[in-house]
């Protein structure tokens, strides 16, 4: 796989993690990823065909958290010994990330379907000037390689197309506070280089709550001299998971999950084993699907407290949610009722669940109001829902959803990861056939989504389409 192709494809999403923005030209250059639909052949693309109108029933097991995995997998390079990671999701973002790590010289061995062992090389084969070609595919490698080797260069962040440019000023502010020199050479790169005596601890106050900068600075600071104090930090579960992983490898990170994180630098990290937390957003996606379609589904391998904000809104919508130690049972038999949602940083309602819940509310009685408090332009997908018969009016960061009796199948596009999940939910709940194109955006972050829904009684499958037809 050509690294230039990967570099053009991989960017950062809102959480700072690696984003495979796989365009169709990239599909012809990358190798096959079994069952994930990234590449079927040189001349074909993949779409989902959904025959909707069926309730969902049964059990589904949630995979490892994407937002944690895309930081923890590269963080394994910080350790001097082998690192075994369990519950690693089989998604495009992680697969591409490990390809780049192999290019850097890391030895990665697949133990089983969800377990990998990563062994860093003490003497990377790449010279610093070669890194600008090799490292465009994984944003968190910026903090990892700066902390480990004192130098990194990666592409400027991109991500899902919500509109506008994603700021990196808080990342730069944090790296500079640690003593790094940050430059922006031509070609859309960001270059960071530690001083000769290495990074040093610092007191950093983030001007805005930022998941990506919180995690990236944490990765750079664990091997820095002295103590680093970060204030106004993001509190998401995957930040806690990253801190727990680093501590398991010998780091000294305290306060993750609060707005103040303190890191005392250590000389080195050692190898070990760690299991990545379940995916909060994947679980919420299946919960929203049950709300839209009706039925009864036991969602397994979850941490219920991570789902509390989603559970609360579903209950307001007349969906029954029963919590167990590591599972939630979601039932919906009667009609959905309206509710209002405002997305906020954790523990508020996650922006990554907004499209899925909005889709379910299209079928609720009454008028629901959605306020996007993170990405105000994240409503492009509503045009697709309108094509299916939804009644949605968008004004800036606010969407007003008037419930309708039913949605009707139609050809739609997955404009980004979570919008794609919303299109799948809409297709499952709709009357007739829905065809979802650009599914590579969905498979960036969902493992075997089709197979999981089929096991719950959905009628959907992958279909290959000629690339010429897709580009019309």
Burial, 259: exposed, middle or buried (Cβ in 10 Å; 0-12, 13-18, 19+)? middle
User: Which ranges of 200-255 does DSSP label H, i.e. alpha helix?
Assistant: 211-221, 237-248
d(CA 449, CA 66): 14
- What does DSSP say about strands 295-300 and 327-332: parallel, antiparallel, or unpaired? antiparallel
Catalytic residue among 10, 160, 233, 309: 160
Instruction: Report the SS3 class of residue 242.
Output: helix
Nearest to 224 by CA among 267, 254, 181: 267
Give me the residue label for tokens 């999940």: 421
* Alpha carbons 378 and 355: distance in angstroms, whole number: 8
**Residue 160 appears among annotated catalytic residues:** yes
Q: What residues contact 91, with CB distance under 8 A and at least 6 apart? A: 36, 63, 66, 69, 443, 444, 445, 446, 447
Buried b (16+ CB within 10 A) or exposed e, 340-362: ebebebbeebbbbbbbbbbbbbb
DSSP string covering 276-342: PPB-HHHHHHHHHHHHHH-EEEEEES--GGGGHHHHHHHHHTT-EEEE-SSEEEEEE-S--B---EE
Letter string b/e over residues 164-178, b meaning 16 or more CB atoms within 10 A of that residue's CB: eebebebbbbbbebb
Which among 277, 429, 421, 301 is positioned nearest to 353, based on CA atoms? 421
Active site residues: 160
């Amino acid at each position: 796989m050509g690294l230039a192709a990967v570099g053009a494809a991989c960017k950062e999403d809102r959480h700072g993690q690696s984003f495979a923005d796989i365009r169709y030209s990239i599909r012809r250059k990358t190798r096959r990823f079994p069952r994930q639909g990234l590449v079927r052949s040189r001349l074909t693309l993949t779409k989902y065909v959904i025959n909707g109108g069926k309730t969902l029933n049964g059990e589904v097991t949630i995979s490892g958290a994407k937002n944690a995995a895309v930081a923890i997998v590269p963080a394994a390079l910080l350790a001097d010994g082998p690192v075994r990671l369990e519950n690693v999701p089989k998604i495009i973002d992680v697969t591409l990330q490990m390809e780049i790590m192999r290019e850097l010289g890391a030895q990665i061995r697949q133990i089983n379907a969800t377990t990998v062992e990563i062994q860093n090389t003490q003497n990377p084969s790449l010279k610093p000037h070669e890194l600008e070609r090799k490292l465009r595919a994984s944003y968190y490698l910026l903090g990892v390689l700066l902390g480990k080797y004192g130098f990194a260069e990666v592409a400027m962040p991109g991500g899902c197309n919500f509109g506008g440019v994603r700021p990196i000023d808080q990342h730069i502010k944090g790296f500079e506070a640690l003593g790094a020199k940050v430059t922006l050479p031509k070609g859309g790169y960001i270059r960071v280089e530690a001083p000769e005596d290495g990074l040093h601890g610092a007191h950093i106050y983030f001007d805005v709550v930022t998941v990506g900068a919180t995690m990236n600075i944490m990765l750079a600071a664990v091997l820095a001299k002295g103590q680093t104090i970060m204030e106004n930090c993001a509190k998401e579960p995957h930040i806690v998971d990253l801190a727990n992983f680093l501590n398991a490898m010998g780091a000294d990170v305290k306060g993750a999950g609060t707005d103040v994180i303190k890191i005392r630098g250590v000389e080195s990290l050692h190898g070990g084993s760690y299991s990545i937390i379940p995916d909060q957003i994947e679980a919420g996606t299946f919960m929203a699907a049950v709300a839209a379609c009706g039925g009864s589904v036991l969602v397994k391998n979850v941490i219920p407290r991570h789902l509390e904000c989603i559970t609360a809104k579903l209950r307001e919508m007349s969906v029954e949610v029963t919590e167990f130690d590591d599972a939630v049972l979601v039932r919906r038999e009667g009609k959905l009722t309206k509710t209002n949602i405002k997305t906020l940083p954790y523990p508020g309602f996650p922006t990554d669940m907004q499209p899925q819940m909005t889709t379910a509310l299209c079928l609720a009685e009454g008028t629901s109001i959605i306020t996007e408090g993170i990405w105000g332009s994240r409503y492009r997908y509503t045009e697709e829902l309108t094509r299916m018969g939804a009644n949605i009016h968008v004004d800036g960061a606010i969407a007003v959803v008037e419930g309708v009796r039913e949605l009707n199948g139609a050809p739609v596009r997955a404009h980004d990861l979570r919008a794609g999940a919303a299109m799948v939910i809409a297709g499952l709940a709709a009357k007739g056939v829905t065809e979802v194109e650009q599914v590579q955006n969905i498979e960036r972050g969902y493992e075997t989504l089709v197979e999981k829904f089929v096991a719950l009684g959905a009628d959907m499958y992958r279909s290959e389409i000629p690339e010429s037809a897709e580009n019309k």
